[in-house]
Each structure stands twice: as structure tokens, then as C-alpha cells.
Amino acid sequence: MRVLVVADDSAEMRWFVRTTLQGRFDEVLEARDGGELLANVLACVHAHPACEVTVVTDNRMPSYSGLDVIDAYDELGYHPTTIVMTAYPDAVTRAETRRAGGWLIAKPFTTTELREVVELAAH
């Protein structure tokens, strides 16, 4: 089972990601902030221990940033494939995302760019 978790405080961006990646996942969950994102990842892993989870998350969100969530994966004991979206792709954010094992995509991006980074990250 393949699950996509989309996290962004913008409903429009969640819709954009969800519709762009439609049909590539068995289930799509949405989160409005980092707290909901962590809860969704935990719920998915507990409900379907063998599922393959891909997270597409904004970096700047309420509760926890996308990078905060990646850092919490160690405590969860689970490391889903994670793509961090940001409108501020500075060197520090790029380095932190790489260090944490995530992939970075700079906003604005096209549907093609999003599909490509999700495909690359999955392999």
C-alpha cells in the first residue's frame, strides 16, 4: 500500500499537490500543520505497518516545520520518503534538508517538477 501525506497550511497548495499526484498512491492524507503531519504518519504506520509512506510537506508551517518533522522521525522509529517544499530555498535550508535525508523542491514549481522529484525520491 502506498500512502501520500500532504502537509501545508495552505488548502490551495494541499489541493495542488494532491491533484498533481492523483492516481500514484492508494490513499492520500492531508495535514494543515506539523502536528497533524506527525499524527497522520503515526496513524498510517500503526494501521498499515508495511505501507510505503511519502510525505510532501511545506517547510514553514504552524506547530512544527517540515524540517522539525523530519528530525522527529528518529523518535518515531520510521523514516518515510519526504519532500520539503519551500519558497525560501537558501543554502541552510538545502543543507538541513539533505542532512535530514529529505528532498527539497523550491516554490513555485510545476506539476512536472513535483512528479519528477517524487519519483526520484521514491527510488
pLDDT digits (tens, 9 = 90+) for 53-82: 999 999 999 888 888 888 888 788 888 999
Closest CA to 42 of 57, 53, 33: 53
Q: What is the mean pLDDT of the chain?
A: 92
At 83, the amino acid letter reads: I
Domain coordinates of the chain in residue numbers? 2-122
Start-to-end CA distance of the chain, whole Å, equals: 16
CA distance 30 to 43: 12
30 pLDDT higher than 90: yes
DSSP 8-state code for residue 56: E
- Third-level CATH fold of 2-122: Rossmann fold (3.40.50)
C-alpha span between 52 and 84 (Å, rounded):
17
Question: What's the whole-number mean pLDDT along residues 103-114?
Answer: 97
- State residue 67's pLDDT score: 86
This prediction's pTM: 0.94
